[in-house]
Chain A
């Protein structure tokens, strides 16, 4: 491609724009002085954008995205988060229930969506346990049980050593049947779960006293990434029994569920942002989780940069489009 004066002008203008805007944005984000490393990164990115502008090759886009994710991870840029009402609704519900309420947490996702889903489940588990509620853990997805065990091992056992299994929390585990399982649990929990995940009879646990079916639950939380997921919980349990349903899903899934909010769905965490918002609310109320409940908040750093890069990409794309159109017109 032949380089014209317009090309050089746009490259220089973009570099200037980034050098000015970049630190401003970082300062807004961190309320701190920008350090030289970031200037370096900025120059680097500018060069790549220039390269992209020259070649219009999408592999440069791939490289840009990779850098946008890796560089902030290497330099530990954290994100800044504020809790939105739709997430706050879940937090407030857990907060307002009297201690000892029954809360069901269902793990309806697999390893593929762990980055988004696991922080949600972990944060809600922390909150439910610190409030002294009874936590019933189950999975509608076969892959969910493994994730539930992960939470139990890394969060419950480590951070809540005083909580007793079977008294404060109970791992019911996975049962096949998809939405049919929810349907059956609505009628009776014992009909599906005669034992817990370890195979101990369910009635041996003091928590199960007075728990008959899903209507015995004061709140059902579901962390999901597809079908069956929150939609099925709403359809087969929430709508039928007027049980409050809330939870978190991947951002893609979230757009599908907003029509259910707020009539059929108490609140919803959408993607990493939702998880980070819940973590933020949790940290604000319970500072003891400042060091542990921060996975999603920490991930927001690379997110911010990647979003900015994509936005700039669109601008560059349009610039290329208008330049080439002008050239063709001549």
Chain B
């Protein structure tokens, strides 16, 4: 590490500390703004390239946030849900903690039920002691068992049965829909026949390009019209094609190849749509940051 970087680091640290604490103690708004703005600029500087300012902000962020979450875990979970009741049980015979929350406790005596998670927790911490570190697998096994079991039914209910339920719709509905459907089917058949006997056999050349373009434009328009006219049918077909894409046991050839390709196209359309839709949210975030920086600049100048 070059001494120059060291000096930069020392300067940053000194400036931030002075600003933060004068800001905190005097409640002087502009100094708070300064800290926020400088940290913002330090992180943005990474977009140009890696530099000591970014490194400083990154390491500070990691340290502060890791400690924040740890203290939070201790203060909001470990102490009130586990250690305090166990200690109360220990010293006051359990009466106090039973009164503190009204859980009826079934088969196990109350104190024992409270101690078990603490035991699992301590088992987990054996990791820090080399020779009996393998004991910590018991705690992991507990969490994995619980997670696997709950996720199992949860996914079955909302993403599996729930989504199937949402997809079960009358495929052709609306007044006179059957007649329209038949008409569309005829057009579809005509398009397929046109492809088979007209387009597939075309040679190179200007005329061929035009014919082909006309054919594909007609097809896209037809598909769009069809999809908007029979949205439910589109949904059901699309979902089935998508599922065929996820089918692993069969080579994607022939009919499977065609349908799975429609499936992957559907996925790509979905991804494109999500991407385009998300842009706004991301720009919003930047607007938020920039308006904070603007407040800072407004203070300064």
B284 on the A face (CB < 8 A): yes
**Which residues of B have CB within 8 Å of A62?**
47
**CB pairs A–B below 8 angstroms (17 shown):** A59-B48, A73-B294, A115-B284, A115-B285, A116-B285, A176-B76, A235-B158, A251-B284, A252-B274, A252-B281, A263-B166, A270-B277, A271-B281, A299-B287, A303-B283, A306-B279, A310-B279
Chain B residue at minimum C-beta to C-beta distance from A235: B158
Which residues B144-195 have CB closer than 8 A to chain A? 158, 163, 166
Indicate whether A73 sits within 8 Å of B290 (C-beta atoms), given known contacts A115-B285, A255-B273, A255-B274. yes
Chain A residue at minimum C-beta to C-beta distance from B102: A191
Q: Which of A69, A252, A303 contacts B278 (CB 8 A)?
A: A252
Interface of A is mostly: helix
Q: Which of B48, B273, B284 contacts A303 (CB 8 A)?
A: B284
- Most chain-A Cβ atoms within 10 A of its Cβ — which of B76, B283, B285, B294? B283
Q: Distance (Å) between the CB of A296 and the closest chain B CB?
A: 9
Chain A residue at minimum C-beta to C-beta distance from B49: A59
**Which residues of B have CB within 8 Å of A271?**
277, 280-281, 284
B30 on the A face (CB < 8 A): no
Chain A residue at minimum C-beta to C-beta distance from B80: A176
Structural contact, B287 and A115, CB atoms closer than 8 A: yes
Structural contact, A114 and B163, CB atoms closer than 8 A: no
Chain B residue at minimum C-beta to C-beta distance from A263: B166
**Which residues of A have CB within 8 Å of B279?**
306-307, 310
Structural contact, B280 and A272, CB atoms closer than 8 A: yes
The number of chain B residues with a CB under 8 A from chain A is 22
Minimum-distance CB pairs A-B, first 7: A115-B288, A251-B281, A306-B283, A115-B284, A272-B284, A271-B281, A255-B274
Chain B residue at minimum C-beta to C-beta distance from A111: B288
Q: Distance (Å) between the CB of A248 and the closest chain B CB?
A: 12
Structural contact, A307 and B158, CB atoms closer than 8 A: no
B211 on the A face (CB < 8 A): no
A250 on the B face (CB < 8 A): yes
Structural contact, B286 and A251, CB atoms closer than 8 A: no
B291 on the A face (CB < 8 A): yes
Distance in angstroms between the alpha carbons of A310 and B76 in the assembled complex: 44
Q: Distance (Å) between the CB of A29 and the closest chain B CB?
A: 16
**Which residues of A have CB within 8 Å of B278?**
251-252, 255
Structural contact, A303 and B280, CB atoms closer than 8 A: yes
Q: Distance (Å) between the CB of A63 and the closest chain B CB?
A: 9
A189 on the B face (CB < 8 A): no
Indicate whether A307 sits within 8 Å of B283 (C-beta atoms), given known contacts A62-B47, A69-B290. yes
**Which residues of B have CB within 8 Å of A70?**
290
Distance in angstroms between the alpha carbons of A67 and B104 in the assembled complex: 61
A302 on the B face (CB < 8 A): yes
Q: Which of A114, A255, A259, A307 contacts B166 (CB 8 A)?
A: A259
Structural contact, A251 and B280, CB atoms closer than 8 A: yes
Chain B residue at minimum C-beta to C-beta distance from A300: B280
Which residues A289-306 have CB closer than 8 A to chain B? 299, 302-303, 306
